[in-house]
Amino acid sequence: MKNALPLLTACALGAMSLGAASAETKASLVPGDSKAPINISSDTFQADLNGKTGTWTGNVLVVQGDTKMRSNSVRMSTTNSKLDKVLASGNVVVDSPKSGIVTGDNGVYSVVPRTVLMTGNVTLKKGKDVMRACQLTVNLNTGQAVLGSCGQAQGKAGGRVQGVFMPNSN
């Protein structure tokens, strides 16, 4: 379980990068790398001034330092001219050489409570260690993370959180 924390951190850091990219927040993708430029690229971008959202669609890539996040789309919404939520959907992958790889179907970063929610086929990998769940919730203020089973995520009994840890792996 000791190796799981860096994996959870990778997920949280990936979501934080999205917030920094759009709202000039002070969150950083990699601790100590907050001054690195954040680059976002996609096939298309659409702004909705009335809805106060911006959406990157198609092969979205967010990069800060050596950490990358990929997804099918990323939508950012604002409230009172400040970033409120970042929603990454479709094949979300956060890859940090320092922390590992986190994948899921969807990810939501809520700025004010500083929480990250990854849902759907969540997998955390670092070296040979792997954890799987249906849901991952990370509170960036407290550093607490919870992996939920498929049954738990859907309000039903059943399903399990799984982990495989290799002794002496990095």
Please tell me the predicted confidence (pLDDT) of residue 58. Answer: 98
- Cβ burial, residue 71 (10 Å; 0-12/13-18/19+): buried
Contact 135, 154 (CB under 8 A): no
Please tell me the predicted confidence (pLDDT) of residue 12. Answer: 37
User: Rounded to an integer, what distance in angstroms lies between the CA atom of residue 37 and that of residue 158?
Assistant: 43
Q: What is the share, in percent, of the chain residues with pLDDT greater than 90?
A: 35
Residue 84 scores a pLDDT above 70: yes
Residue 18 scores a pLDDT above 50: no
Read off the pLDDT of residues 22-60 as tens digits, 9 standing for 90 and up. Answer: 333 334 333 335 567 778 899 999 999 998 999 999 999
Burial 39-65 (b: 16+ CB within 10 A, else e): ebebeeeeeeeeeebbbbbeebebbbb
List the CATH code of the domain at 4-164.
2.60.450.10
Range in 19-28, 68-77, 116-125, 142-151 the model is least confident about: 19-28
Residue 141 scores a pLDDT above 50: yes
Residue 85 scores a pLDDT above 70: yes
| The pTM of the whole model exceeds 0.75 | no
Closest CA to 32 of 82, 122, 88, 96: 96
More confident site: 158 or 57: 57
Please tell me the predicted confidence (pLDDT) of residue 32. Answer: 35
The pLDDT of 87-115, averaged and rounded, is 90
The pLDDT of 76-98, averaged and rounded, is 89
